[in-house]
């Protein structure tokens, strides 16, 4: 009888391992199905002009599954392109707050949030976002070009000159003509404030 128990022990262990593995696979499948249903529900909310419900649903999904980062970046970009900048900002801010982002994903979220702020006319916030990217090799030129647009829009000509000179050093030679234009704008600014010494 004791020998029979020793023979059944490995069988019971193998059966337990098999059932546990099967249960784990089933749980993964159930979770994937639930996320798919949530995506379909979110898309339905978007199509039926219930964007707030869609945003809430997608943000809840982000908290549960970090594999949806690219989808959230795209969704935020879609809202920004449709002029719904507040929703885009909300999505990208929530994305940045996620602790499970990779370094590259965090940089992408910063870039997109900066673009959201520019679209909303919040140039000071956009400037903060793009300044965070100027030391990152893959994002440097794009961030500097965005900063240049900000400084042109806000008539901060000295900052525009500094950024354009950095772009020239990075091989963007067409900026040389713009630098000359920025110096003219800066001189006009000084003349308007009766600072003729600096205008020269």
| pLDDT tens per residue across span 57-84 | 666 666 655 567 787 888 888 889 889 8
CA end-to-end span of the chain: 106
| Spatial distance between the Cα atoms of 195 and 187, rounded to a whole number of angstroms | 9
**Per-residue confidence in pLDDT tens, the chain, 200 aa:** 556 555 555 655 565 666 666 665 665 565 555 555 665 666 666 566 776 676 666 666 666 555 677 878 888 888 898 898 998 999 899 888 887 788 999 999 999 999 999 999 999 999 999 999 999 999 999 999 999 999 999 999 999 999 999 999 998 878 888 999 999 999 898 888 776 666 55
Instruction: Give the pair of three-digit tokens for residue 185.
Output: 């704008």
What lies within 8 Å, CB to CB, of 88 at 6+ separation is 76, 77, 79, 80, 112, 116, 119
CB atoms near residue 72 (< 10 Å): 23
Could you tell me where the beta strands, DSSP code E, fall in the chain? none
Cα 4 to Cα 12, 14, 189, distances in angstroms:
12, 16, 97
Q: What pLDDT, on the 0 to 100 scale, is given for residue 159?
A: 96
Domain 35-134 in CATH 1.10.10.10? The answer is no
* Domain range annotation of the chain: 35-134
Q: What pLDDT, on the 0 to 100 scale, is given for residue 195?
A: 65
Task: Find the farthest-apart pair of alpha carbons in the chain and give their distance in angstroms, rounded.
Answer: 108
């Amino acid at each position: 009888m004791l020998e029979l128990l020793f023979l059944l022990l490995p069988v019971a262990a193998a059966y337990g391992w098999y059932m546990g593995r099967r249960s784990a696979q089933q749980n993964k499948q159930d979770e994937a199905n639930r996320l798919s249903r949530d995506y379909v529900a979110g898309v339905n909310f978007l199509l039926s002009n219930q964007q707030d419900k869609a945003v809430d649903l997608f943000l809840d999904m982000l908290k549960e599954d970090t594999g949806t980062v690219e989808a959230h970046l795209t969704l935020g970009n879609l809202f920004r392109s449709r002029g719904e900048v507040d929703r885009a900002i909300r999505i990208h801010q929530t994305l940045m707050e996620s602790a499970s982002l990779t370094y590259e994903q965090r940089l992408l979220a910063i870039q997109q949030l900066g673009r959201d702020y520019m679209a909303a006319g919040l140039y000071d916030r956009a400037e903060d976002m793009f300044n965070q990217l100027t030391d990152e090799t893959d994002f440097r030129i794009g961030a500097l070009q965005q900063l240049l647009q900000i400084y042109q829009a806000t008539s901060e000509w000295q900052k525009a000159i500094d950024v354009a000179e950095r772009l020239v050093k990075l091989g963007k030679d067409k900026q040389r003509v713009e630098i000359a234009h920025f110096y003219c704008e800066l001189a006009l600014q000084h003349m308007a404030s009766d600072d003729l010494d600096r205008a020269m």
